[in-house]
Amino acid sequence: MKVLVAVKRVVDSGIKVRVKPDGIDLQGVKMTINPFCEIAVEEAVRLKEKKLIAEIVAVTIGPKQGAESLRHALALGADKAIHVTTEARIDQAVQPLDVANILAKLVERDNYNLVLMGKQSIDDDFNQTGQMLAGLLDWPQATFASNIQITDGIAQVIREIDGGLQTVKFKLPGVITCDLRLNQPRFASVPNIMKAKSKPLETIPLDKLGKLHNSIQITKTEAPAIRKGGAIVENVDVLLQKLRNEAKLF
């Protein structure tokens, strides 16, 4: 059984980004693998360790630096990688339907039995690509997975839903998007980082598989409002007086 794992390169979640009207300033900013995609890679590796799958292929769509995320996936345990290259901004111009279309082409070309993805990219927060891919392939899907069991070609997935958990099952092939509590990704060891450098990495220019439609235009980006500093008051009377006279709440 072959698994395709989609990994996106995003701004590191620990970075305080600078917001400009036309988007996040990416100049010199630390980038990393999208955390939910790292969880998807880890899950694929665990399934392979349980001998439930034979091959893990990691794929990214994006500029040449995206190869770093693929090498990270290879160091975690992926067997091969595919880099679909474009110089377009992945947080703006490479949109979910474009990504889903390209992944669908690769699934048709290479016959995967399962696609594992992050539930969401932390840069654009779309949470759409997995659902669109399942629609395009006419495959069943389980989103927000917090547990995945595969037995005799059937995937049983526990999904995190509002106020609880839902268990679903379907016959593979299918698409599963991974949530935070699915697993804790391992650290890539130095020998595995070295080994990853010699694992196969195929590069395909995006225009060989599809095109970018720019169906959504980002018209404006704004930073969140700056929070006013808090203050400690001496007692409840002072608090009430400040709420009445300064905050004018009553």
Binding site for ligand AMP (CB under 6 A): 6-8, 34, 36-37, 59-62, 90, 94, 96, 99, 117-118, 120-121, 124, 126-130
Closest approach, Cβ 250 to ligand AMP, in A, equals: 42
Of 92 and 121, nearer to ligand AMP (C-beta) is 121
Q: Which long-range contacts (CB under 8 A, 24 or more apart) does 236-243 make?
A: none
* Nearest distance in Å: CB 93, ligand AMP: 10
Which of 100, 108, 170 has the alpha carbon at shortest distance from 131? 100
Residue ranges in the chain assigned as alpha helix (H): 35-49, 67-76, 96-110, 129-137, 190-196, 236-245
- Smallest separation (angstroms) from ligand AMP to the CB of 46: 17
Which secondary structure element, helix H or strand E, spans residue 117, and what is its range? strand 114-118
Instruction: Give me the least distance between CB of 189 and ligand AMP, in Å please.
Output: 24
**Shortest gap between Cβ of 133 and ligand AMP (angstroms)?**
8
Nearer to ligand AMP, 218 or 240 (CB): 218
Query: Using CB atoms, what's the residue nearest to ligand AMP?
Result: 118
Residue with tokens 């935070």: 180
CA distances from 19 to 24, 88, 95 (A): 5, 19, 20
Nearer to ligand AMP, 118 or 210 (CB): 118
Asked if the peptide bond before residue 173 counts as cis, ω within 30 degrees of 0, the response is: yes
